[in-house]
Amino acid sequence: MEKKLFVVTIETEVVVLAEDESQAEEEAQRHVRGEIDEWDFRAAPMSFMPAGWDEDCFPFQQNDQPDRTVGEWIDLGAAPKYVELRNKLKKGTKGL
């Protein structure tokens, strides 16, 4: 089976008692680490580069896979939707 890159969104919601949004985020982070069972995982073929990631990052993978960067996997054809969108965007910006 041919490997592909996927973007996985991981979300959960909790209720936090705090004085403001900043404190609420800090409090949630403090309590959530290792304690939440109700995570929502959604995977989709990679069509964009997630925030905080770039082509030099290593994707999460099983231990038996070679260590290749996201960019190397893209070059190997593991993210065709991403390449398609990137190429469309490049074509659209040539006239700017």
Q: Is residue 32 part of a domain?
A: yes
Kindly tell me the sign of the dihedral angle through the C-alpha atoms of 51, 52, 56, 58.
Answer: negative
Reported as a single tens digit per residue, the pLDDT across 17-60 is 878 888 888 888 887 776 666 777 889 999 999 999 999 998 98
Q: Of 70, 76, 74, which is closest to residue 87 (Cα–Cα)? A: 74
Mean pLDDT computed over every residue of the chain: 84
Q: How many domains does the chain have?
A: 1
Q: Is residue 36 part of a domain?
A: yes
The residue among 82 and 24 whose pLDDT is bigger is 82
Q: Is residue 58 part of a domain?
A: yes
Question: What's the pLDDT score for residue 49?
Answer: 93
Question: What's the pLDDT score for residue 18?
Answer: 78
The residue among 41 and 71 whose pLDDT is bigger is 71
- Find the domain containing 85 and state its range: 6-93
Q: 3-class DSSP state for residue 14? A: coil
The residue among 33 and 66 whose pLDDT is bigger is 33
Asked if the model's pLDDT at residue 96 lies above 70, the reply is no
Q: Is residue 1 part of a domain?
A: no
Tell me how far apart the alpha carbons of residues 79 and 59 are, in angstroms, rounded to a whole number.
12
